[in-house]
Amino acid sequence: MIPILLFALVQAAPPVAVKSPLANRFDDCAALAKTDPAKAAAQAEAWRLAGGGLHARECLGIAFAAQERWAPAELAFEQAAKEAEIQRDGRAAALWVQAGNAALAGDDPSKARQAFDRALALPVMSDPMRGETYLDRGRAAVELNDMAGARKDIDAALKLVAADPLAWLLSATLARRQKDADRAAADIAHAIRLAPDEPGVIFESGNIAALRGDHEAARAAWARAAEKDPEGPAGKAAMAALTPRLDKEGEKQTPH
The pLDDT score that the predictor gives to residue 244 is: 72
CA–CA distances in Å: residue 219 to residues 61, 170, 212 = 42, 21, 13
What is the average per-residue pLDDT within 116-133? 96
Sign of the Cα torsion 204, 207, 211, 217 reads positive
- How far is residue 248's CA from residue 112's CA, in Å, rounded to a whole number? 40
Instruction: Give the CA radius of gyration of the chain.
Output: 21
Tell me the pLDDT tens digit for each residue of 29-62: 999 999 999 999 999 999 999 999 999 999 999 9
- How far is residue 110's CA from residue 215's CA, in Å, rounded to a whole number? 37
Tell me the pLDDT tens digit for each residue of 136-150: 999 999 999 999 999
Domain boundaries, the chain: 1-7+24-161, 172-244
CA–CA distances in Å: residue 235 to residues 3, 38, 102, 138, 158 = 15, 31, 25, 24, 26
At the top level of CATH, the class of 172-244 is: mainly alpha
Is the per-residue pLDDT at 6 higher than 60? no
1-7+24-161 and 172-244 have identical folds = yes
- Give me the architecture of the 1-7+24-161 domain, per CATH: Alpha Horseshoe (1.25)
Predicted confidence band of residue 23 (pLDDT cuts 50, 70, 90): confident
- How far is residue 1's CA from residue 163's CA, in Å, rounded to a whole number? 19
Predicted confidence band of residue 202 (pLDDT cuts 50, 70, 90): very high
